[in-house]
Every structure is written in C-alpha cells, then in structure tokens.
Amino acid sequence: MIPGPNDELVFLPLGGSNEIGMNFNLYGYGPPDDRKWIVVDLGVTFGDLTTPGVEIILPDPTFIEAYAEDILGIVLTHAHEDHIGAVGWLWDRLRAPLYATPFTAFLVREKLREADLLSQVKIHEVPLGGTVQIGPFGIDLITITHSIPEPNGLAIRTPLGTVLHTGDWKIDPDPLLGGPTDVAAIRRLGDEGVLAMVCDSTNVFVDGFAGSEADVRKALFELIGGLKGRVAVGCFASNVARMDSVIRAAQANGRRVCLLGRSMHRMAAAARSVGLFGDIEPFVADTEAGSLPPDRVLYLCTGSQGEPRAALARIAEGTHPHVRLGQGDSCVFSSRVIPGNEIPIRNLQNKLADRGVRLYTERDHPGIHVSGHPCRGELAQMYQWARPRIAVPTHGERRHILEHLAFARDLQVPEGVAPRNGDMIRLAPGRAEIIDEAPAGRLFVDGNVLTPENDRPLRERRHVASNGALMVTVVLDGKGRLAASPQVRALGLPGDADYPLAEALDDLAEDAREAVEALKGGARDDDSAVQSAVARSLKRAAQRVWERRPAVETMVVRV
C-alpha cells in the first residue's frame, strides 16, 4: 500500500499507561476523519482498599465505541488477565473479530462462554510466528518469553512504517515451556527499520536481568525436597511454567498434586489443549487428598496475593471444605508481591503462621520466584536489537513510563513520547507528538453491574467506610407536626464510658427535632426539605461529637 497524502499512523492507549495492568491499546491508520483501527489487548486491573466491594476494574471504551464500525480486529498478545480479562465484559461494545494464538484463544473462549457471547464472536487462531493482514495493518507474531505460554510481540507493518509492540516480555534463555525469544526476527526488523517500539516498563527501576525459570525450577526442587508434612504452594495460575516446575518437584519427591482454585484447573486445561502437561501424573481431587499421608501430598493453590475468596485465604481462615494445614505443614509463596497487595498478603501469611504453618517466601529464600518482565539489562538489549526511531513506554505507572523514556534517551533513541491513557500520539508522518486527547477512564464491576469510576454508589461506600452513617426516622402528622420523637441509629460510630453511644444518639435525636421544628411555612410538607434540614443538623452535631461527618439517611413517615 502507498500512503495517501493525509494518512497518519497513531497510537492511543486507553489503559495500561497510568498503571501496571488494564492494557487496552489502539492503533489507527488513515486520514484523521476516516481512520481504521485495531485494538491490541483488552485487559482488567483489580480493586484494592480504595474500591470497597469492587474486585474487577475495566478500561472505559467509550471513545473507540463511537468508531466501532471502523475497528478491524482485536489482537491479543497473551492470556494474562490484564491483557484479556475485559473481553467478556466489553466485546459486545466493540464487536470486532479476535486474533489470538491457540492457548490464549482457549481461555478467551471460556470467558466468552461465561458471558454468553461465544456464538457471536469470530475468533481467528493464529499460529506461533504467524502473520495476518488486517486492513492496512500487516501483523507478524514474534515469539518472546514471559511467564505464560505463547506470549507474542507484534510487528505491526503499515505504509507509514513498522511498530514493534512488545507486549509483556523478558529475556529467558531457558524458558522451560515454549521457545526462547526470536532474536533473529527482532534483529531483522531492526535492519529493515523500526519506526517505533511500544514497550513494557514494569521493571525499569531494576538493574540487570529478571532471571530464568530454569533456575526457579532448581530452587523449588531443592526446597520442596527438604520439606516434611503437607505442602502448599501459592503462585500465579497463569504462570504455567511455574506450575509445571512445582508439579515435577512434587512428583520427584513422591507427592501427589492437588489443584486448588478454579484458575488452576482452567490453566491446566488450557495447557493440555496445546499439548502441555501430557507426561505428568493425574491430579488428585481435594476430596481425596486429605486421605493421603501428609508427606505424600502437595497443594498447588490460588491466592498468593491475599485474594479473599481464593484457596489460600480459605485455608488460612479454616473455611476450606476439604483442606486443613497446621503444625508441621509448609506454605511456599512462589510469587512476587504486587504493589498494593502488601496488607492482604501480610494478613494471609499471619493467619497461616498462627495455625503453625511454616512460610517460605522469596525474601527469605531467593530464587523461588523471578519476574516475567524486563529489567534494565534486558531493555537495553531489546533497544540494541530493534533500534527504533521512537520509544513509546507503556505498561507502567507514571514514574515507570518517565524513567523508561529517560533510559531510552540514554540509549540514544532519537525520539520518545511518554503517554498517559487517552493521549493520541501521531507516530508518522513527521516527528512523534501528542496530537489529541481522548476520553479515558475506568469502569467498575460492582456486583454484576458496570458503573463509572466515580459513580455515586462507590463514593457513598467510601464515605461510609471512613465516616460511618446515621439513619434517622422522622414521623409527622397531617399538619406537619412531629407525631413522635425522631429515632436515630448509627452504623460505624463509637461510644465510650464517658459518653455512651446511646446517649449520643439521644442528643442527636434532639438536634433532629429542633431542625424539623425550625422549618417555617410549608417546608414541613416537603419531604426533601425535611431531609435536608435534618442531615445538615446531624452532620454538624456529629462533627462536634466524633469529629466526623457521617452519611445521614433520613426517612420521613407521615401519619
């Protein structure tokens, strides 16, 4: 294809360029008023203590949804949740065909089946190292190494130049499952000329290299071989190479493996669908594992990040229906602490320790985990191979992206842009620059309902969590007079011996009575006016009593 006089190549991240996770990247080609788009990855991030009741967070697709008929395809680089987790939630708003390698396609089908969308979606399975043409975008899949089977970098070829979209990657000379990084393909791209490299920034502050899964396998074999009693291992279910290492370490030491957690079973099924796990012993069910001698069983568990409903959390709480760990047993955490999860992980480990379980973490046993993302040595190597004209760091918080851009400049990359979610970057023609800003936000999965990030229910929930709540009942007769004293109940507010809560609530009831009686004219006939007056009065009173401003819910009853 020959570029038209007004054609542009743009890159637009709508997720993953303000945070580690929730990856949602767009590439557009054509004149500004008639661009064709591809989506690269459609992932989620997860809630934390600031999002009570919300566990899953999605990127907001509102901008590109308006151009849904111009989306030519959704290309998935690999099967981690922060790259595919939003497909089941958001595909119906984009309605474009999906492109993925077999392992990723297996897991995506499961998500679409759960969302009752599978029959509507066209999924193109692309072989490892394959090539697809999607409108003006010619895409070569480049084998890389990461912490999940079939990770891919994308060489996105357009009439205005080639972009190397790395996805998540590291340099692992011995990845155990799958082939090593296709260095020759990346060098060929560099020789041909790479316009821009859109690259993972997760470990940009870490010197050296991430390390090899082969070394982790050796460390796990040595550690598990020396343990007595029951052993539980917590790791990311998506790290199939780690699962494989734990399983083989267990078998080498005469232990049967029991998978605990739906994600573990799902990943094992996906691995088998592409020919992995073919030579391992059958897993033992959790209903049967308890009958095995303690030194003949190993539990491979979800929940290494302290997730409240995962297998390790239920074991720690003593609520798992079939598994108990206690004195003489061990739990190995073969995973890193994701920033923001420090408190739930610490709480989980304390509960296990209180049951007498001996804990083994990467802090006290270095080598039982390595990252799946590139450190500075690997980033330098990738830039040397690809030699891009433009560096575009992604997959990081703001500090990661700015540090990555500074590092790329130190490596003599001629141009660079540090995007935020919503920044539309023109990569070609001309010098790379931000040319527009698209709306970019988050959608919260609140129960089964998608809500905007700052929607009222979550604001109220945060407010109540910090300040408590007061519930007031005001009973008025037909003439607007109080028919009974207001009743006040509290949620999340304290009392003490000097000023018991019941006494404080009686005083607040008096404040509510005075607020109602102070209303003049026909104001008492207006429920909203009564509610507002009571709320103002009780918030002032609560500030005086507790130095808090609780939520106030007033119910007006007329008799």
273-294 per-position pLDDT tens digit: 999 998 999 999 999 999 999 9
Strand partners for 491: 469
Burial class (CB in 10 A: 0-12, 13-18, 19+), 101: buried
Q: What is the pLDDT of residue 457?
A: 87
Strand partners for 143: 152
Sign of CA dihedral 491, 494, 496, 500: negative
Q: What is the DSSP letter of 41?
A: E
Intervals of CATH 3.60.15.10 along the chain: 8-208+371-452
Crossing angle (nearest 10°) for helices 262-273 and 102-114: 130
Intervals of CATH 3.10.20.580 along the chain: 468-558
Q: Which superfamily does CATH assign the domain made up of 8-208+371-452 to?
A: Ribonuclease Z/Hydroxyacylglutathione hydrolase-like (3.60.15.10)
Q: What is the pLDDT of residue 470?
A: 96
Which among 451, 424, 401 has a CA at the least distance from the CA of 205? 401
Q: What is the pLDDT of residue 48?
A: 80
DSSP 137-178: EEEEEEE-B-SSSS-EEEEEEETTEEEEE--S-B--S--SSS
Q: Cα–Cα distances in Å, from 380 out to 160, 184, 196, 427? A: 26, 16, 15, 22
Chain length of the chain:
559
Q: What is the pLDDT of residue 49?
A: 76
Strand partners for 13: 25
The angle subtended at Cα 153 by Cα 149 and Cα 154, nearest 5°, is 135
* Strand ordering across the sheet containing 423-428: 123-125, 98-100, 71-75, 36-42, 24-30, 8-15, 423-428, 433-437
Contact (CB, 8 A) for 142 and 162: no
Which among 478, 477, 487 has a CA at the least distance from the CA of 511? 487
Intervals of CATH 3.40.50.10710 along the chain: 213-360
Q: What is the pLDDT of residue 169?
A: 97
User: Is residue 452 reached through a cis peptide bond, with omega within 30 degrees of 0 on the bond before it?
Assistant: no
pLDDT < 50 regions, the chain: none
**CATH code given to domain 213-360:** 3.40.50.10710
Helix (H/G/I), strand (E/B), else coil: 217: helix
Cα–Cα dist 304/301, whole Å:
8
Q: What is the pLDDT of residue 454?
A: 80
Strands 161-165 and 196-200: parallel
Q: What is the pLDDT of residue 534?
A: 96
Contact (CB, 8 A) for 426 and 9: yes
pTM (predicted TM-score): 0.90
Cα–Cα dist 445/55, whole Å:
7
Q: What is the pLDDT of residue 447?
A: 85
Residue 404 phi, psi (nearest 5): -65, -45
**CATH code given to domain 468-558:** 3.10.20.580
